[in-house]
């Protein structure tokens, strides 16, 4: 508790944490390499952005096409399954953390994160890991906003003495770990069984139905569909393994970076992870995007929006606020589901509600804003939007 006590301005100085040891740096670098590899392979094989919040949000959206849901479920199931297996094999990996969020913190942060990532079109994995690697000014802008907002929130929350009311260390339940692992594994089996029974459901192979009762075509679609699901699950597991190895699934390591004036010292391990990931994904994406198509699908699926909008700025700011309060982001939340702690489950529930609320509210707010600012059918003649390269 003394670590969380209110601090005077004289105490707010930056010092390096004693927890930032050579072994921590090594784990951060190796874990970051796995994260960068997962993002790069996802782009090379499937032509997709590895944005965990976007993957999750699409599953919550009533407007999402059914054919894109299976690979998303497989990717998230791979993350949960790997996290659960690691927790069972090495319980210390997800032991009680001094900064595990309370019920109220998880509920509030999850809702803010859901609104933020939906309005801002992504979180750390989508904007920073994949967007900055594509040299997207839109993603760079969002990253600067949510990282600076999270650092400000984390530092001020600790400095004001509010942190003790936001944290609740609790040992994970082994029953919850087993349940999450079983559910994730069962999900993968059900998805692959569905592909084998009904391959023309467009799970992600060629995306075309078999023309007639040609057994060769049907067999090829079965293989393509199953490989698509297995590949998505493996990439999700590699991403989760990198995050776990880097220590980012423990909120104390994240808050240790976001609170730069913490009494226990600043932990720059997250910065090491970020720099290592970008050093991998940026050259990899540069080479991959020179291809005409990814290896497994006919075209790259990249963001179409190339403007910096007010909702991007507001969404990134809300996500930064959520991240600074809890030390949890969507990627870490998904890993936490396999760890058996209550916080990630509560965070996931309210994040999903926030995503749905933002999906319903943002278009209406934009329409009312345009109606108030512009008369008749006239379009805004003012300054053109800032176009960027995606």
Confidence at residue 92, expressed as pLDDT on a 0 to 100 scale: 78
329-364 confidence digits (pLDDT tens):
999 999 999 888 888 999 999 999 999 999 888 776
Confidence at residue 213, expressed as pLDDT on a 0 to 100 scale: 53
Confidence at residue 376, expressed as pLDDT on a 0 to 100 scale: 45
Mean pLDDT of 185-195: 83
Asked whether residue 166 carries a pLDDT value surpassing 90, the answer given is no
Confidence at residue 176, expressed as pLDDT on a 0 to 100 scale: 78
16-50 confidence digits (pLDDT tens):
877 888 999 999 999 999 999 999 999 999 999 99
* Cβ proximity of 271 and 20 under 8 Å: no
Partnered with residue 167 across adjacent β-strands are: 101
Asked whether residue 113 carries a pLDDT value surpassing 90, the answer given is yes
127-140: burial string, b at 16+ Cβ within 10 Å, e else: bbbbbbbbebbbbb
248-251 contacts, C-beta under 8 A, 24 or more apart: 248/31, 248/273, 248/332, 249/83, 249/93, 249/94, 249/332, 249/335, 249/336, 249/339, 250/94, 250/97, 250/99, 251/97, 251/99, 251/100, 251/101, 251/167, 251/326, 251/327, 251/328, 251/332
pLDDT: which is higher, 194 or 23 = 23
Confidence at residue 377, expressed as pLDDT on a 0 to 100 scale: 43
**Range in 147-151, 155-159, 167-171 with the lowest mean pLDDT:** 167-171
Asked whether residue 249 carries a pLDDT value surpassing 50, the answer given is yes
Helices (H) and strands (E) in the chain, counts: 12, 0
**pTM score, whole prediction:** 0.84
Residue 7: band (very low, low, confident or very high) from pLDDT cuts 50, 70, 90: low
Cα–Cα distance, 70 to 189 (Å, whole number): 11
Confidence at residue 329, expressed as pLDDT on a 0 to 100 scale: 92
Confidence at residue 371, expressed as pLDDT on a 0 to 100 scale: 57
Confidence at residue 384, expressed as pLDDT on a 0 to 100 scale: 47
């Amino acid at each position: 508790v003394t670590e969380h006590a209110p601090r005077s301005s004289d105490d707010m100085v930056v010092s390096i944490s004693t927890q930032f040891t050579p072994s921590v740096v090594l784990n951060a670098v190796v874990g970051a390499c796995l994260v960068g590899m997962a993002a790069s392979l996802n782009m090379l094989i499937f032509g997709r952005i590895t944005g965990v919040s976007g993957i999750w949000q699409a599953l919550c959206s009533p407007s999402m096409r059914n054919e894109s849901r299976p690979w998303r479920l497989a990717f998230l199931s791979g993350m949960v399954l790997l996290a659960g297996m690691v927790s069972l094999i090495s319980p210390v990996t997800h032991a009680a953390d001094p900064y595990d969020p309370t019920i109220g913190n998880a509920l509030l942060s999850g809702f803010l994160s859901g609104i933020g990532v939906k309005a801002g079109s992504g979180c750390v994995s989508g904007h920073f890991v994949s967007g900055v690697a594509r040299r997207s000014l839109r993603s760079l802008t969002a990253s600067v906003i949510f990282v600076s907002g999270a650092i400000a929130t984390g530092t001020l929350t600790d400095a004001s003495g509010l942190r003790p009311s936001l944290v609740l260390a609790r040992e994970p339940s082994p029953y919850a770990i087993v349940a999450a692992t079983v559910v994730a594994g069962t999900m993968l089996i059900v998805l692959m069984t569905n592909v084998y029974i009904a391959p023309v459901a467009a799970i992600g192979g060629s995306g075309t139905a078999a023309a007639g009762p040609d057994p060769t075509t049907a067999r090829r679609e079965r293989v393509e569909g199953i490989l698509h699901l297995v590949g998505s699950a493996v990439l999700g597991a590699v991403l989760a393994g990198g995050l776990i190895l880097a220590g980012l699934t423990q909120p104390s390591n994240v808050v240790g970076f976001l609170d730069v004036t913490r009494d226990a010292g600043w932990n720059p391990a997250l910065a090491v992870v970020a720099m290592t990931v970008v050093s991998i994904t940026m050259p990899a994406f540069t080479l991959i995007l020179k291809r005409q198509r990814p290896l497994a699908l006919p075209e790259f699926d990249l963001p179409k929006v190339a403007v910096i909008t007010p909702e991007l700025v507001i969404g990134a700011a809300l996500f930064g606020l959520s991240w600074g309060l809890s030390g949890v982001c969507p990627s870490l939340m998904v890993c936490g589901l396999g760890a058996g702690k209550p916080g990630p489950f509560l965070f996931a529930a309210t994040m999903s509600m926030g995503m749905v609320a933002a999906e319903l509210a943002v278009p209406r707010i934009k329409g009312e804003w345009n109606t108030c600012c512009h008369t008749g059918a006239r379009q805004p003649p003012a300054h053109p939007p800032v176009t960027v390269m995606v």
